[in-house]
Structure 1
Amino acid sequence: MELERGLKEDDLPSIYRAANVLSAAGQKAYMRHTRFRLWCMVLAAASAAFSAARFMPPPSQPIFIGTSLILFILTLIAEISSLIAKPEELWYKGRAVAESTKTLAWKFSMRAAPFQEMPQDDAAEISLTDQLRRVCREAPDTLGAHLTETVQITQAMREIRASSLAVRRKAYSRGRIEDQRKWYQGRAARNLQKAKQWRTFLLVLESLGAVGCLILLVKLSSFDIGGIVAAGVASGGAWIEVKQFNTLANAYSLTSSELSLIASEGEHVATEEEFQEYVNSAERAISREHTMWLARRSV
């Protein structure tokens, strides 16, 4: 059945899609600013090293020193720009609004608290609208610029809510639990792979720095590569800290495992009361990971 596939992205409130776009834009801008600053620092260190190299002709020294100065100024401008624009705030708040909206949409569709059986569906819809309004109060002011649609309670949400317990249980299992489990599982594997790649890259850089210092020590060369490598290692370490590959890999893996257990529990749900408690338990698990993610990012 079509309803058993659950809610897809187009079936969620338009606030969700707007917050998604806002969050993605904030994340992209934040990462772009960070990459630019780190590259500027590495290139500034390289320029400084070349300006002091004995094999470089004396007239080239002012050029390299000037280049290093320009790179430091660009780094400062990028830092100030990031402080003013606060893209990370758009990223975090947009993600929080999107995830909160998604949770409310699923709870409404599954008839779970606070949208369990009401005298009329109109009452549930009014309650959902009030909840979404509260979520929007925490949203960035620019959310409205991305809100191109006005539909918050979609036809799919209404149809699934009106369906039988068996249909809703399958819809929730496939469209929410399994979809989220696969997402967390894939992200865990991806972050673990990225963590290994970056650790290997840093080991190579550190080995190169050691070799460069050894060459300088035995006077095979007068060029000090240590400063460049040190800047590269520091920048690489800062990038790993920003991306939090290992931390996210562990958190996503844990949530994926927890959702696998929740999926098994869902097979034994037999009554409306049990299903409502099951949905709320699952949503708490998903929200807990997201809350922890926000806490880590806000530190």
Structure 2
Amino acid sequence: MSDTNMGIPELTEGDFPGAFQAADENAKTSQFVHFLLLAIYLATLITGSILQELFELDHPKFVSFFIFLVSSSSLCALYFLRYDEKWYYGRAAAESVKTRTWRWMMSSDPYNGVSEDLDYEFIEDVSEILINDKEKAVIENTRHCDKPMISEKMKEIRQLELNEKINIYRNQRIRDQLLYYQRAGKKHRNLARFWFFIAALINIIAILSVNSPENWIINNAVPISVLSTLAGCTFTWLQAKRYRELSISYSFTAQEIGIAHSKILSIKTPEEFSNFVVSTESAFSREHTQWAARKLN
């Protein structure tokens, strides 16, 4: 990103509207809590299965009660608190605000012009995003309420010349998204393979255990009930994470962004740039909307 070091402002997430930072923070927190609760629930199932085999009916009742209590509590929290929905809606809201912010900074439709009314229109658009997501509780903290909707860095970028805006958009938006989706696609592809290997290994051990003579080590190493629980928990984790599905989606999106990264070099006029930004941001927004829809379904 050497282009951005020659007097061109470097944009950070702290320069985006407070609404973005609040929704982004909520999404990250909700995602962490959701998978933490799921991991606790699955861990209690595995632990209970192992204890049952090790101690049969001889282990203290309070141990069983504690495991059952933790398991039930985490399951109820998953179902009733719906951190997964808060995560999905929070991410969609954050990306919608970010999309609007980039369109405003790049002076693209509907914010092309020099009228101060466009600032008000931008703030109204961001407010509408928050109002639409209010019932979904995507923002539950007030940490970023004092931050402006339009930061000084945003204003500075909006006042730049066309070629400088093109440089910023190419390096700090398109390239940033391209690298993100490339890394995310590779990461999820590797994780999909890893968890598939784990699931396959558990099933192979289970098959060998069922069909092996009683005096074989593998038959006495891990009980069938524990293997069944492990297999079920692994499958549940794979279904929740959707590694393979997301790796395909991220890789496809990276290809689309790569095309946009090349097209921007041929832009000559403000009108062409405005149309390009609208088209590109619509593609980004569509990807996040489809992502949320896939998750919710």
- TM-score calculated relative to the size of structure 2: 0.90
CA offset at residue 157 of structure 1? 1.1
Please give the residue correspondences for 1:88-99 in structure 2 after superposition, counting only pairs within 5 Å: 88-99=84-95
Contact 1:44 1:67 in 2 (8 A): no
% same residue: 22
Find the counterpart in structure 2 of residue 23 from structure 1: 27
Q: Which deviates the most, 148-157 or 95-104?
A: 148-157
Return the match for 2:13 from 9, 13, 17. Answer: 9
| Equivalent residues of 2:30, 2:87 under 8 A apart | yes
Contact map agreement 1:213 1:225 (CA 8 A) in 2: no
| Match in the other structure for 1:174 | 171
How many angstroms does 1:68 deviate by? 4.4
Q: Write the distance in 1 (CA, Å) between the matches of 2:105 and 2:7.
A: 11
**Taking structure 1 as reference, are residues 109 and 6 closer, same or farther at Cα in structure 2, changes over 3 Å only?**
farther
What is the aligned partner in structure 2 of residue 78 from structure 1? 74
Contact 1:8/1:175 (<8 A) preserved: no
Q: 1:111 is paired with a residue of what secondary structure? A: coil
What residue is the counterpart of 2:113 in the other structure? Answer: 117
- Is the aligned partner of 1:156 residue 2:178? no
Correspondence for 1:243 among 226, 241, 266: 241
How many Å separate the matches in 2 of 1:182 and 1:288? Answer: 18
Matched, 1:220 2:219: no
Contact persistence 1:6–1:174 (CA under 8 A)? no
Q: Check the 8 A contact 2:106/2:274 in 1, yes or no.
A: yes
- In 2, the alpha carbon distance for the partners of 1:245 and 1:259 equals 21
In structure 1, what is the equivalent of residue 263 of structure 2?
A: 265
| Aligned match of 1:58 | none
1:267 is paired with a residue whose SS is helix
Q: Which residue of 1 aligns with 2:97?
A: 101
> How far apart in 2 are the matches of 1:64 and 1:143?
41
The question of whether the paired residues in 1 share the 8 Å contact of 2:26 and 2:138 is answered with: no
Q: Give the structure 1 partner of residue 290 of structure 2.
A: 292
Tell me how far apart the structure 2 counterparts of residues 69 and 296 of structure 1 sit (CA, whole Å).
37
* TM-score with structure 1 setting the length: 0.89
- For residues 168-212 of structure 1, the C-alpha deviation after alignment (integer angstroms, 9 at most, x for no partner) is 111100010000000110111111111111111112111221222
- Give a deviation string over 1:113-166, Cα, whole Å, max 9, x none: 111125x1x111100110011011114274342325321101111111111111
Q: Is the aligned partner of 1:50 residue 2:44?
A: no
- Aligned partners of 2:138 and 2:296: how far apart in 1? 19
Count of aligned pairs: 287
Change in Cα spacing, 1:22 to 1:110, as seen in structure 2 (3 Å) is: same
2:189 paired residue among 166, 187, 192: 192
Question: Does the Cα contact within 8 Å between 2:22 and 2:139 map onto a contact in 1?
Answer: no
| Counterpart for residue 121 of structure 2 | 127
Q: Are the structure 2 counterparts of residues 159 and 150 from structure 1 closer, same or farther at C-alpha, using a change threshold of 3 Å?
A: same
Q: Of 27, 36, 43, which residue of structure 1 is paired with 2:40? A: 36
Measure the CA separation in 1 of the matches of 2:228 and 2:275: 54
Within 2, Cα distance between the matches of 1:219 and 1:174?
Answer: 64
